[in-house]
A and B are shown apart, each in its own frame.
Chain A
Amino acid sequence: MSLTSRHGVTSTDTRDPIGVAVAFLNRLASTGALDRFGLRKPAERVVFEATRSGFRTAGNLNRAFARAGGKGGTPARVPTAAGTGTFDLTPTDDEQMLVDVVTELATEMVRPAAAEANEACRAPDDLLKAGLEIGLPLLAVPEDLGGISTERSAMAGTLVAEALAKGDMGLAVACLAPGAVSTALSLWGSDEQQATYLPAFTGDDVPAAALAITEPRPLFDPFRLRTTATRDGDGYRLNGIKSMVPRGADAELFVIAAELEGTPALFLVESSSPGLEIEAEPSMGLRAAALSRVVLKDVRVGALALLGDPDAYTECVRLSRLAWCALSVGTAQAVLDYVIPYVNEREAFGEPVSHRQSVAFMVANIGIELQAMRLLTYKAASRAAQGKSFDREVALARRLCAERGMQIGNDGVQLLGGHGFVKEHPVERWYRDLRAIGLVEGGVLV
C-alpha cells in the first residue's frame, strides 16, 4: 500500500496545543455550517474531491478479446530503417506528411480543447476519435497486421508526439495512450498475442489501453519494481500498485510492468480481471490524460499474458522515455512560441519588456536549450529506428529534457509575471505538465 498522505506533513512533525485548536477550527469550517453562506464549492468539484481521496472503481468492462493465432506462429515484425551514413536533419517525405496532419490536429482541435480538458480531467470524445481517425495507434503496427508501418517508426512516432504536445501535453498523452499498447504488441508480441489483441486496434472501435510502469514511491526505479508477478499454474498472479496510468478508468487492456522472479517484465492484463481496481490520480499536470492508479490484488492472468523477454522490457522503458522527451520538446516549443509575442507586446517603462536583456536573454536560453532538447531526442529516435544501441542517447535526452524542459516551463511563467500565474494564459499549465518528464515512466511509447 502507498503511504497515506498527512497533507504533506512529515512523520516527525507533531501537533502541539495550538495545533489541536487550529485543527478543530478547520473541522468546524468544513461542516455544513458554511453552506448557507454560499461558500461551498460547486457540486462537481466535491465529486472530484471524493475521487481524489481514494474512490475506487473496478476496471472498465472490456470486450472479449478472442484468442487467436498459434503458439508456434511467427509474429509480424517490421525491419529497422536503413541508415544513409549522412548527417541530416530533414524528415522523410512520409514523416513530414504525418507531421503536417498531426500539427493541424494539434492546432485546430488540441490547443482549443486544452484548458477545458484540464479542468474536466478528461479528453473530449471527438478529439480522441479524431486521433484514431488519423491512425495514431497504427503508427507502429506492421502493415501485414492492418497497421501502416513498414519499418521501425521510432522517428515518426517521436515527430508525431512532439507535434501533438505542441497543442497540449495532457491531451497528447490521452491520444497516444492506446498506441503505446499496440506498439508494444507490434514490437514484442508473440503471434498469438498479436492475433488476439491487435485486431481491436486496427478496427473501427479502438479500445482505450495503457502502458503502466510507474509506481507511487519516491526514487522509483523501473528496474526495481515492487509490483510482482508470481507463477500460478500455467499463468501468473499480479500484485501491486501502478501510478500515472493514462485514462486508466476507460482502458480495456493494460500492459503492466511487474517483477517476475527478480526480473522486470511486461504483462497483458484485461481490465475486467477480478482484483483489478482503478483509482483516479489527479496530479499537478497532465490532467487531461485522466491519470489513474491501477491497484492489483491477486489478479490472475493466463500464460498468454507475459509479453516479450527482459530485453524487451529494457527497450520498452527506453522507448517510453524517448516518447516523453518528444512530448517535452513539443510543449517547450509551445512555451517559446507563446512568450515571444507576449514580451514583444507587453510594455513596461515605456518600451516592450523584450528590450531588456534580462527578459531577452531568458528567451534566448529557451531557444537554445529547446533546440538542444530536440537534437538529443532526434538522435536517440533515429538510432532506435536504425536498430542501433540508444541507451546512452535516451538517457542523455531524458536528462536534458527533464532539466532544461522544466526550466523552460518555469521561465515561461516568469516571463508573463503575474499574468503567467493565472489560468487566462496556458503557461501555468505547461509549467505543471513539464514537471512530469523527469519522473514519469510508461504511458506513451514510440
Chain B
Amino acid sequence: MINLEAPRKFRPLVSQAHQVAMNLLRPNSRKYDLLEHEYPKELDMLAAMIDGLSDSGAASGAGASGVRRSEEAEGATVQNGSNLASVLSIMEMCWGDVGLLLSMPRQGLGNSAIASVADAEQHERFDGLWASMAITEPGTGSDSANIATTAVLDGDHYVLNGEKIFVTAGARSDAVVVWATLDKNLGRAAIKSFVVPKGTPGMNVERLEHKLGIRSSDTATIRFENCRVPKENLLGSPEVDVKQGFAGAMATFDNTRPLVAAMAVGCARASLELTKELLEQAGVDIDYDRPALTQSAAAATFLQMEADWEAAYLLTLQAAWMADNRKPNSLEASMAKAKAGRVGSDITLRCVELAGSIGYSEHELLEKWARDSKILDIFEGTQQIQQLIVARRLLGKTSAELK
C-alpha cells in the first residue's frame, strides 16, 4: 500500500536525534565554525551516549553508520530497516549541524565502507573503530578509477605509496580506509581499499584545509610513504576480477549517496524553518491553498523552495527504502543525491537573500548553512557525476559511450 510518511516505528529514533541536534549540536554550531580545526570535545560525550543507545538497540543508525543489505530483509513483506533509519536520523542531525555530524566519532564514511564491503572477520576486528575515507588525490577527483596511490604485496604486508587529500575526519579518526591500486595497468578492477590504523609508520597527516563550510569537520591531507599494512586489512577480496571491475568499490557509493542526500535535506530544512518564521514576523504568511502567483513574491518563492525540498526528501527516502528491500538502487541513489545536492545549495542561498542582512550576518546561522550545504553537492560524487550516472542508466550507455 502506497504510503510516503516516515515510518511510524522510527518516530522515537527521529525525535531522539532531533533532541540531540537541538540541544547539543546547535549550541556548538557557531563556536566550531569560528574555531576551525578545534576538536569539538562535546562530541565525545555524545558518542558515548550513542554507543550506549546502539548497544540497547534503540538508536540503530544514529549517525553515518554503515549501510549494508540486511539479511532480515528477506521475504515478501515490505521492510523499513536500517537504511531508512539512517537517512532519517542523519536528516535530524544535519538539521542541527552538518560539520559536527561529520565529526561524530566512530560514525565516519570509512565506517560505511567497512560495513559495506568487509567480510565477517574484518567486521568484528574493526568494530568500534572510527574510520575515515581516503579516495581523492591531488590529480584525481571525480575520476576515482584513475587513482595513483599504489599497494604492492610484500610478504604479509601491502606497501602503500601516494598522497590523499580531502580526507574528512582524517586527523581525528582511528584509521583511514585508503583506496589504492594493485596494478595501474589493470584499471578499475585493481583498485582495493585498505584499512590503515593511525600511527602506522609511513602514514603522515600533512595538513588541514581551511574551508568555505563544514569548518568543524577536519579535512586532511595524508601522505603514505612505504607504509606497510597487514594484508588482512585489505577489505573484501584481494583477487583482481576484471569482469567485476569497479562494481565492488562503487557499491559503497550506492549506500553512502542517500546519506549525503539526507545531510543536504536536513541542512536545507533548518534554513526553510527559520526563514519561514522570519517571514511570518515580517507579515508574510504562506497559504497552501491560494495559487502561489496570487501571493507575495516571497511566499511564492518559499512555496517553490519547499516543493523542491520535499522532492529531495522523498527521493532520499525512496533510495533508502529500496536498499532496505534489497532492490538495486544505484539510479535512485544518484537521483536523490543530485536533487538534494542542488536544492540544498539553492534553498540555503535563497533563504539568506530572503532574510536580508539577518541572513547574511553571523547573528544567525542562515549564512553558515548556505556555506555548509555547498560541499554536499560535491563530495561522494558531484552534481555532474550524479547526472552522468542517471543519464547512463536511463539511456543504457556505458561509461565509454557517455563520457
A: residues with CB less than 8 A from B are 81, 83-92, 95, 155, 219-223, 314, 317-318, 336, 340, 343-344, 352, 354-355, 357, 360-361, 363-365, 367-369, 371-373, 375-376, 378-379, 381-383, 386, 391-397, 399-400, 403
Interface flags for B78-103 (1: CB within 8 Å of A; 0: not) read 10100010000000000000000000
Q: Would you call B387 and A89 a contact (CB within 8 A)?
A: no
Q: Would you call A360 and B289 a contact (CB within 8 A)?
A: no
Q: Would you call B306 and A396 a contact (CB within 8 A)?
A: yes
Q: Would you call A87 and B315 a contact (CB within 8 A)?
A: no
Q: Which residue of B lies closest to A378 (CB)?
A: B2
Q: Which residue of B lies closest to A85 (CB)?
A: B8
Q: Which 8 A-B pairs have the closest CB atoms?
A: A85-B8, A372-B311, A395-B288, A360-B391, A399-B307, A379-B4, A375-B314, A364-B390
Q: Would you call A343 and B2 a contact (CB within 8 A)?
A: no
Interface membership of B178, Cβ < 8 A: no
A396 to B302 alpha-carbon distance, docked (Å): 10
Interface membership of B199, Cβ < 8 A: no
Interface membership of B75, Cβ < 8 A: no
Q: Which residues of A contact B304 (CB under 8 A)?
A: 399, 403
Q: Knowing A87-B84, A354-B402 are in contact, say whether A375-B311 is a contact too (CB < 8 A).
A: yes
Chain A min CB distance to B364 (Å): 25
Chain A min CB distance to B331 (Å): 8
Q: Which residue of B3, B314, B392 is within 8 Å of A88 (Cβ)?
A: B3
Q: Would you call B310 and A371 a contact (CB within 8 A)?
A: no
Q: Which residues of B contact A382 (CB under 8 A)?
A: 1-5
Q: Which residue of B4, B384, B392 is within 8 Å of A89 (Cβ)?
A: B4
Main secondary structure of the interface of B (DSSP, over half): helix
Q: Which residue of B lies closest to A366 (CB)?
A: B394
Interface membership of B292, Cβ < 8 A: yes
Chain B min CB distance to A348 (Å): 15
A64 to B310 alpha-carbon distance, docked (Å): 48
A379 to B317 alpha-carbon distance, docked (Å): 12
Q: Would you call B310 and A376 a contact (CB within 8 A)?
A: yes
Q: Which residues of A contact B397 (CB under 8 A)?
A: 354-355, 360
Q: Which residues of A contact B335 (CB under 8 A)?
A: 367-368, 371
Q: Would you call A355 and B78 a contact (CB within 8 A)?
A: no
Q: Would you call B4 and A364 a contact (CB within 8 A)?
A: no
Q: Would you call B288 and A392 a contact (CB within 8 A)?
A: yes
Chain A min CB distance to B319 (Å): 10
Q: Would you call B318 and A83 a contact (CB within 8 A)?
A: no
B: residues with CB less than 8 A from A are 1-9, 78, 80, 84, 288-294, 303-304, 306-308, 310-312, 314-315, 317-318, 321, 332, 335, 338-339, 384, 387-388, 390-392, 394-397, 401-403
Q: Would you call B289 and A317 a contact (CB within 8 A)?
A: yes
A393 to B335 alpha-carbon distance, docked (Å): 21
Q: Which residues of B contact A368 (CB under 8 A)?
A: 315, 335, 338-339, 390
Q: Which residues of B contact A373 (CB under 8 A)?
A: 311
Q: Would you call A365 and B402 a contact (CB within 8 A)?
A: no
Q: Would you call A391 and B2 a contact (CB within 8 A)?
A: no
Chain B min CB distance to A257 (Å): 14
Q: Which residues of A contact B310 (CB under 8 A)?
A: 376, 379, 393, 396, 400
Q: Which residue of A lies closest to B308 (CB)?
A: A400
Q: Which residue of A86, A352, A396, A400 is within 8 Å of B3 (Cβ)?
A: A86
Q: Which residues of A contact B289 (CB under 8 A)?
A: 223, 314, 317-318, 391, 395
Q: Which residues of B contact A155 (CB under 8 A)?
A: 2
Q: Which residue of B318, B321, B402 is within 8 Å of A355 (Cβ)?
A: B402
Q: Knowing A221-B290, A375-B315 are in contact, say whether A364-B2 is a contact too (CB < 8 A).
A: no
Chain A min CB distance to B98 (Å): 22
A155 to B4 alpha-carbon distance, docked (Å): 12
Q: Knowing A88-B78, A360-B397 are in contact, say whether A83-B402 is a contact too (CB < 8 A).
A: no
Q: Which residue of A lies closest to B321 (CB)?
A: A87
Q: Which residue of B lies closest to A400 (CB)?
A: B307
Q: Knowing A221-B294, A363-B395 are in contact, say whether A87-B3 is a contact too (CB < 8 A).
A: yes
Chain B min CB distance to A373 (Å): 8
A391 to B290 alpha-carbon distance, docked (Å): 10
Q: Would you call A363 and B339 a contact (CB within 8 A)?
A: no
A66 to B46 alpha-carbon distance, docked (Å): 72
Q: Which residues of B contact A403 (CB under 8 A)?
A: 304, 307
Q: Which residues of B contact A376 (CB under 8 A)?
A: 307, 310-311, 314
Chain A min CB distance to B273 (Å): 14
Sampled A-B contacts (27; CB under 8 Å): A84-B3, A85-B7, A87-B6, A90-B1, A90-B2, A317-B289, A340-B395, A343-B395, A344-B396, A352-B401, A355-B397, A355-B401, A357-B384, A361-B387, A361-B388, A364-B394, A365-B387, A367-B394, A368-B335, A375-B315, A382-B5, A391-B288, A396-B303, A396-B307, A397-B307, A399-B292, A399-B306
Q: Would you call A379 and B1 a contact (CB within 8 A)?
A: no
Q: Which residues of A contact B5 (CB under 8 A)?
A: 83, 85, 87, 379, 382-383
A246 to B394 alpha-carbon distance, docked (Å): 35
Q: Would you call A87 and B1 a contact (CB within 8 A)?
A: no
Q: Would you call A363 and B394 a contact (CB within 8 A)?
A: yes
**Contacts A361-B387, A364-B338, A368-B335 known; 4 new A-B pairs at CB < 8 A:** A85-B8, A87-B6, A376-B310, A396-B310
Chain B min CB distance to A146 (Å): 26
A372 to B8 alpha-carbon distance, docked (Å): 22
Q: Would you call B401 and A219 a contact (CB within 8 A)?
A: no
Chain A min CB distance to B332 (Å): 8
Chain B min CB distance to A122 (Å): 29
Interface centre among A83, A95, A360, A369 (most CB of B within 10 A): A360
Q: Would you call A375 and B7 a contact (CB within 8 A)?
A: no
Q: Knowing A221-B290, A221-B294 are in contact, say whether A88-B317 is a contact too (CB < 8 A).
A: no
Q: Which residues of B contact A86 (CB under 8 A)?
A: 3, 7-8, 78, 80
Q: Would you call A400 and B2 a contact (CB within 8 A)?
A: no
Q: Would you call B7 and A87 a contact (CB within 8 A)?
A: yes
Q: Which residues of B contact A81 (CB under 8 A)?
A: 1
Chain A min CB distance to B321 (Å): 5
A227 to B9 alpha-carbon distance, docked (Å): 48
Q: Which residue of A lies closest to B306 (CB)?
A: A396
Chain B min CB distance to A161 (Å): 14
A364 to B338 alpha-carbon distance, docked (Å): 10
A403 to B1 alpha-carbon distance, docked (Å): 28
Interface centre among B1, B290, B396 (most CB of A within 10 A): B1
Q: Which residues of B contact A360 (CB under 8 A)?
A: 387-388, 391-392, 395, 397, 402
A365 to B308 alpha-carbon distance, docked (Å): 13
Q: Which residues of A contact B308 (CB under 8 A)?
A: 400
Q: Which residue of A lies closest to B7 (CB)?
A: A87
Q: Would you call B3 and A83 a contact (CB within 8 A)?
A: yes
Interface centre among B4, B292, B396 (most CB of A within 10 A): B4
Interface centre among A86, A95, A363, A403 (most CB of B within 10 A): A86
Q: Which residues of A contact B401 (CB under 8 A)?
A: 352, 355
Chain B min CB distance to A35 (Å): 45
